[in-house]
Chains A and B, each alone.
Chain A
């Protein structure tokens, strides 16, 4: 997880610049800071600041790194500033005391008093760290208080060496932490909650090697000896280490380690592997209807057209039926449409039966049924339906709807004679359907029973009623 946020390293030239600045213990601090501001453009300063704060924390042996709880309010979005400050105590610092002063000065001065300095927490910690050198604490306190007052110039006008050798520190009173914090909290921008707590929880990952030979670790070294004097190899080690630490990619930070298991591969499913079978050969077909006699079925079309206008002679009827039987597909080419059905039914019910039973698989058949149900009730239509029920499989809904329609038609007729006639027809029709088990009586029992009772004066209705009762 922590690898998500590698701290960009400094460029080689920036590294050497920085190292030389840190080594400039004899120059006045204002000079050093000015030099820094000149050499590093604004957009690079954040990186340098990060590197500096990293170096400030580094020490050489048995660091007692104690994680302070994450800062309650990370002051800005600058990532480096959000690290919990790790206090180091009693150990030799990686940087020379002079270098540390320079680093603090740069951290403090690289931000003008008007803007929020992201390194304030680090400076605050340094100012209140009782384990650190007194002179350093005093220096940082001076820096921190200076932004409100004006006495910083004299501090910064000295060189780092002068400051350490001087006696300024002795006269300094240390302000309590709370007071310093109060001063800065009022001006600092408040927390930015979107900062990942993964980042916030990073720890230093640079550990002083515990296996360093004791002789080495205990070798005397003057902490104030100017760097670059090349007297002792330990000093070289120190500088070299600083240089390499500056190169480190991770910025010396280790975040919480999360284990993200990789999802498993889906096992090969049954039948997922493709088993091959030989192909069936599908060849291109010749179109035999090319230039063919298109008058096929002309005779029957003619006959059907006549059948729509009046009854056909028996021989003609026979011809139609023979032709349709001879070629089961001919019916699709005989010129019938659902709209023409009522005429055909009225004039030639037998042909209508023939046509419909041949069309039973046609995608148009619902249209035909629809027309048949809604056409005017008549002997012929009933005859057609009756014959169809025995010839083909009719959809139950269609038969039911048709019967309902029959019964309604009987009730709606005003003419008494015609009504009697129709009722008798319907009764015979229903008896036929029931006897042939075309319909299940139970489905329509109430409706049919009511019909029988309504027309009980008619003999056939009474007969139908008896049939119903006998089936109960």
Chain B
């Protein structure tokens, strides 16, 4: 099917009224039939019907849209990009038609000012508000479903950012939407926001769902719950679903009673009569209400489903915000609700909860229980989650094995035939690749880690942490001696001493610290890795990370100020749920007692309060994490710039680390050292010495620049009321220590300070001071070839070449290499 050309002719000319009516009913009947066929999953029949319909209503965007949808189900191998294009064209066409029709209506109104009720031309045109999109102009050109389907495809393609930007306008204007579609929109948006880890937005949607669908009220589900029909469960009438009036109407009726009974003195003027006439309507209103609450009882089953679904989202959200206590409580509620259902989702959530609480054994147990581990999607999930648990238990290599297995299963989904749209979204290889990359990074395999991160890029490219990790691959490669840079230490460092000449003329030439020539360094020079693992790439990654971090923090500050507005007075109801408008004219606190929604709101309010508070806690967590990420980014940048011989840039990054509030002392130390080196390179040894001398106490001693606790992260508090409550905290502690041991120990850091201070002294000609400092430093770093060489340098400076040679002989990392004479002749 060809998508309707966007620049086709104007809307089809209107036939005379009588013919039109006949045709309308005929097409409407066919449309109904097609819809039934679609519901019955008879897609071939449906397509035939649609083709006929297309003959009658050429260029109708909605027919085209449904045709595209049907075809995608029919051949079950949708070319998602083609589908996206069709939907885009259809949407544009709809909007054009709506526009044309509006103009037509305007002119019609201008001439006759009559609103003929049946006619197509102006009947559907509702100039509701100029600020809104076409969806408010009536059904014919309504693009809600088209927009939704576009978002669905983008979601399946893992393009969550785009999906969000497509779907969010619908959510902002969700009130006029019928309940079924609104629910679809909300649930899809919830999945998108959870995938994007946007807790704020997810809370907003959950609160909207509870408010509008009364799902929060668990006491008497039949009373004021307006239940949507599930789309597939029963045929949906073309008209919008009639739903029982919500709690607002209840209170509305009650309010009138209140008013007529209470306020008016009997001698009042015109009021009395007016209010009394209205009393009649009030009774009428009630009658209707009763009718509908009876009907709603039939739909209780679907309401229960809805509640379970929402509860799952709630638990996932709480787990995302790391509010483990409340998550546990809500999960219990969920387990009660879901009794008798397929509970694999719940068990997975439970496993995740135990994982988050540090009860790893229990998490593994729960993870192993679901027995539908036959399909690749579930297997991928199983192995991935097992890998996460194993990582926490520090079995990195087993963890890698799990992730690789998960990756294999996940990738197998791609080759599945026939390809389904849902299979696309089940393919989580990006996420698993990220896990895998982290694991390789922890195991010291930078090249493998980098290639994993490259696979993860499509989903993670907006996260600062991802780019930091990517850059860490290059730094690790440097550390492992796979890359070389001047002045950077690696584990392969050694001093090479060339023995030149023979006999009495034999000379020893002391070379600067160098990389041991090892052959696995060839890996980096191969083209593929060269792009991903290099200092230049690391710098690029870090700059990306910095930019993204600045952007998110800016965004957060905007949201924060918005929420402040909210607290000052803008009410969400007034602003229409979720709309982040800045209109702050008038409002009322949402949690205050209100006349409407008195019954059943109580529980909702309290849970909303917990959601809000865990959101606030999560914001705090994120803020702290972002600080850690920022100092790591800036520290790494300073380091990388030094390696790339840009001392000025290195200096400025090092300075900005020092300007961070709550900067960890380890990074304070690092930035002092980096700044000092940059200053030395810039020929300012005096300033460099000044930088480093902040650590000097009592004249000549240097204090520990940091200690183990404040070097990196303080112990994370764990909710540990589980059965193995002791174990997790112990393992956590062990984790801290061992993770820390990979980096510089405080004593070594002190040694570094002595050596570097000694060097600044030497450069300023204070040989004695330099000698003292370097010898103390060497005592702390006896195995560091650079420290040895520093000491050798000082000896040479003082003309003590024999001492220098003695030190070189003792050092483990020195290699005496006979100089080649071959080339001399």
Contacts and interface: CB of A to CB of B under 8 A. Distances in A.
Interface string A390-404: 111111111111000
Interface in B201-246: 212, 231, 236, 238-240, 242-243, 245-246
Contacts of B175: 329, 332, 361-363
Contacts of A332: 128, 136, 175-176
Given A268-B442, A391-B252, A257 B759 contact: yes
B338 interface: no
B422 A325 contact: no
A276 B824 CA distance: 65
Given A212-B506, A278-B345, A318-B281, A244 B128 contact: no
Given A296-B239, A363-B132, A395 B501 contact: no
Given A243-B821, A360-B248, A261 B683 contact: no
A444 interface: no
A270 B124 CA distance: 53
Nearest to B571: A395
A471 interface: no
B610 interface: no
A234 B265 CA distance: 130
A276 to B, nearest CB: 4
B76 to A, nearest CB: 12
A325 B245 contact: yes
Contacts of B177: 329
Most-contacted residue by chain B among A255, A274, A357 (CB, 10 A) = A274
A132 interface: no
B694 interface: no
A279 B576 CA distance: 29
B252 to A, nearest CB: 4
B756 A258 contact: yes
Contact of B271 (A383, A393, A395): A383
Contacts of A200: 763
A67 to B, nearest CB: 5
Interface in B483-515: 486-489, 498-514
B314 interface: no
A143 interface: no
B425 A393 contact: no
B274 A268 contact: no
Contacts of A387: 255-256, 259, 278
Interface residues of B, number: 230
Contacts of A335: 115, 126, 128
Nearest to A314: B277
A281 interface: yes
Nearest to B711: A264
Q: Which 9 A-B pairs have the closest CB atoms?
A: A397-B586, A241-B501, A243-B824, A264-B743, A390-B255, A395-B586, A332-B176, A237-B503, A257-B790
B531 interface: no
A212 B503 contact: yes
Interface stretch (B9-17, B328-336, B471-479): B471-479
B763 to A, nearest CB: 5
B425 A279 contact: yes
Contacts of A216: 503-504
B344 interface: yes
B611 interface: no
Given A208-B506, A237-B503, 12 more contacts: A1-B677, A60-B507, A203-B796, A207-B509, A265-B742, A276-B428, A288-B35, A289-B62, A295-B123, A329-B240, A387-B256, A432-B264
27 contacts: A64-B799, A67-B799, A195-B683, A197-B685, A204-B796, A205-B510, A233-B503, A245-B507, A257-B512, A263-B670, A266-B472, A271-B356, A276-B380, A277-B349, A284-B153, A286-B69, A287-B146, A289-B142, A291-B63, A326-B288, A333-B126, A338-B129, A350-B278, A363-B175, A364-B129, A400-B586, A432-B259
Given A333-B138, A432-B264, A234 B504 contact: yes
Nearest to B291: A326
Most-contacted residue by chain A among B39, B799, B804 (CB, 10 A) = B799
Interface string A129-147: 0000000000000000000
Interface stretch (A24-32, A97-105, A246-254): A246-254
A280 B146 contact: no
B734 interface: no
Interface stretch (A45-53, A169-177, A299-307, A405-413): A299-307
A252 B155 CA distance: 63
B716 interface: yes
A431 interface: yes
Given A278-B381, A293-B28, A396 B759 contact: no
B208 to A, nearest CB: 9
A206 B509 contact: yes
Interface in B24-46: 24, 27-28, 30-31, 34-35, 38-39
Nearest to A250: B511
Interface stretch (A113-121, A181-189, A365-373, A449-457): A365-373
Given A250-B509, A282-B152, A262 B677 contact: no
Given A285-B149, A436-B262, A301 B801 contact: no
B586 A240 contact: no
A294 B123 contact: yes
Contact of B504 (A61, A264, A370): A61
B632 interface: yes
